[in-house]
Structure 1
C-alpha cells in the first residue's frame, strides 16, 4: 500500500505552515507517508505574477496526479488557504480514475470560527467533502457538527487531541503554584481577555509571547517575554496553563470564544506536552478530555479561579502532573494522529 501526504511549501521554507501543520507532516512522515510538495510562489501583485503563480500550482498538482499510483492513500491538511489552480480537478481525478483513498485532516473549520470572509472557505469546505473518503476531526463535539451538516458519521474519525512534538523530558520537574500561565500571541486583537486579567488580582498571571501591549502596569501580571517556539516548553514549569479565548473573563465569548465549543486549541497540546496541568472553560470541547484524564481544572468563569486554586493542595496538583505523563508521552510521539490515520486503513483494505 503506497502512502502519501501533501506538504505545502513556500519559497525556501519547506515547511512554511504553523507548528501544528509542521508537526502533523513530521508525524505522517514517521508513519510512512511520503511527502509530495506543492510549492507556493512568493506573492507579488500584478496580472503576470498571478498567472505565473497559478500556473505553478497547476504544474505541481498535475505532478501529484502523475506521482501517485492507483489505490494509494493520500492525506491532506485542511483548510487550504490559497486558491490553487488544478487542486480540485486533480484530486477528483485521483479519486475517480486511480481510486486513491483521500483522508482529510482538519485543522480549522472556518464556517464555525467565522472570523474571515467566508465565500472562499465555503467553497474549499464543499470541495473537501466532495473528494474526501474520510475526515479526521478534532473531537466528538466537532464530529457532531459535521454530522449535523450532513456528513455521514462513518466518514468521520475523532482525533481526540492534537499531538505536539517537543523534547521535554518525561521526568521534568513541575512546581506547584496556585497561579496561571498563558503562552502564545498576546495581541489585543487575538486575545482581548488578557487585558482584563488585572481584575483577577491577587491571582498571579504569567505571560509568555509576542505582541503584548499593556496600557498600564498591573501588580498581578508578570510578562516574561517572547521565546523561540522550541524554547517555550522549557519555560512551562509551574502553575496551570490557561486555555481561554474571547473578550470576557466570565465566559469564553465572541466568535473565537464560541469556537472553543468545537475545536482542539493547539495551546492545550503545548501545555500538556510540556507536562503542565491546565485550566479550561467548562463549555469547551476539550473539557471532556481534561476531566476524563484528570489533567487539570474545568471552570465556568475565571472569576471563580482564585477560590478554586486556594483549595488545591500540592498533592492534588502533583496527581495532575502524574496523570499528564502518559498524555505527554503520546503527544511527543505523535500517537494521536498515528492512531487516527491508522483507523482509516482497515476500512480502505476492505473496499
Structure 2
C-alpha cells in the first residue's frame, strides 16, 4: 500500500493558497506520502480530451489499496478538472481518498446560498475522509448534509526555517492582507502597520508594500498580529463575506504570525478563538478602538510570558506538525479503523 499526495509545482503567484498546497505536500512527504506533481494547467475548461489525458497520467502509479490525499480545492480554474480527478480515483478498486480542505469558496459568497446545490459539497461527499480546518467547519458541513467522516487540523501549517526577529513589548498591531485595508474609523493611539495597501494617513499608521508571505517573518518585531477583520478594520471584499467565513475556518494569517513568533488578536466569534485562548498565544478583541485599553493592562513581563507560549506553536506550525498529526490520524482511521479523532 502506498500513500500519495498531490504537490503543486512551478512558479506560483505570491498567494497563500498556493503556499498552503505546497506546505501540505511537504508535511505529507515527511510522514511517508509519495508526491504526485501537478501544475496550473492552461486551456482545460473546454478540452475534455486533454483533461482525461492529464488525469490518467497523474494517477498512473496509483494501485488498488492505495490512499490518495488531495488538497481541496486544487486551485485550478477549470473546476470540472477537480471533479474528474475525484471521479477517476473513485472508480479505482479499493483506493481511499482524503480531502485536505483548505478553502470552501462557495461559503464566501454574499447573498442566497443553498447547500443542496453547492457543487463543492457534492464533491466532498464522495471522499472517504475529510480533514477540515476546525470543528466548527466540520459542524457546518454536517448540518449541510455532508456525512463523510471528518477530523480537524486546527492550525494551518506555515513551514518556515528562516530568521525571525527578537520580540519586545510594543503597543503595535500588524495587519498583513492581500486586500486593501481601511482604518478610517480607527481613533486609537496604538501604532498599526499595514502590510499591503491602505489609504489611511494618520501618523500612527504605517503602510508597507505587499510582500510574499515567506518574507514577512523577518519583519515582525513585537506587538500582535491581527488575524480577523476586527471591527473598525474594513476592506474591499467585493462579493465575499469574510466576516462570516472566519467563524468556521482557520486563517492562513494565524499560522503566518505564529510561525513568525508573533502573538495574535482574534475576534470572539472566530473559529480559532478557543484554540488561541486555551493556548494563551493571543488576545480576544472585537473592536480595534478598544485596543488602547487592552494594551494598557500589559507590560513587558506579561508579553514575554505570552511569547514563551507562542514559541511552542512557532516550532509546531513552522515544521508541519499539525498537518502531519492529522494525516497520521487519518491513515490510522482508514487502515486500522482507529477513530478517536473522527467526528
TM-score range for the pair, normalised by the shorter chain length? 0.7 to 0.9
SS in 2 for 1:74: strand
Please say if 1:145 is aligned against 2:145: no
Displacement of 1:344 after TM fit? 1.2
- Residues paired across the two proteins, number: 329
Aligned pairs (5 A) from 1:20-59: 20-43=20-43, 51-52=46-47, 54-59=48-53
Displacement of 1:348 after TM fit? 1.8
Displacement of 1:182 after TM fit? 1.1
Displacement of 1:6 after TM fit? 2.0
2-structure distance, mates of 1:33, 1:116: 40
Question: Any conservation in 2 of the 1:41–1:56 contact (CA below 8 Å)?
Answer: no
Displacement of 1:117 after TM fit? 11
Aligned pairs (5 A) from 1:293-304: 293-304=279-290
Partner residue, 2:219: 235
1:106-141 deviation digits (Å, cap 9, x = unpaired): 11122322259989x9223312322x1000111111
In the superposition, relative to structure 1, how do residues 56 and 150 fare at CA in structure 2: closer, same or farther (>3 Å)? same
Displacement of 1:219 after TM fit? 1.2
Aligned pair partner of 1:183 in 171, 176, 186: 176
Partner residue, 1:226: 210
- Higher RCO (C-alpha 8 Å, min separation 6): 2
Aligned pair partner of 1:122 in 118, 124, 135: 118
Displacement of 1:289 after TM fit? 0.9
Aligned pair partner of 1:64 in 58, 67, 71: 58
2-structure distance, mates of 1:320, 1:246: 21
Displacement of 1:178 after TM fit? 1.6
Q: In angstroms, what is the RMSD of aligned CA positions?
A: 2.9
1:187-222 deviation digits (Å, cap 9, x = unpaired): 2xxx4xx3325x23322111223xx141x6211201
Partner residue, 2:187: 200
Partner residue, 1:46: none
- Length-normalised TM-score, structure 2: 0.86
In the superposition, relative to structure 1, how do residues 322 and 79 fare at CA in structure 2: closer, same or farther (>3 Å)? same
Please say if 1:309 is aligned against 2:295: yes
Aligned pairs (5 A) from 1:1-351: 1-9=1-9, 12-13=10-11, 18-43=18-43, 51-52=46-47, 54-81=48-75, 82-83=77-78, 87-89=82-84, 91-114=86-109, 122-130=118-126, 132-152=127-147, 155-168=149-162, 173-187=166-180, 191=181, 194-196=182-184, 199-209=186-196, 212-214=197-199, 217-245=201-229, 248-249=232-233, 255-350=241-336
Question: Any conservation in 2 of the 1:263–1:285 contact (CA below 8 Å)?
Answer: yes
In the superposition, relative to structure 1, how do residues 179 and 136 fare at CA in structure 2: closer, same or farther (>3 Å)? same
Unaligned runs of 5+ in 2: 338-343
Question: Any conservation in 2 of the 1:110–1:118 contact (CA below 8 Å)?
Answer: no
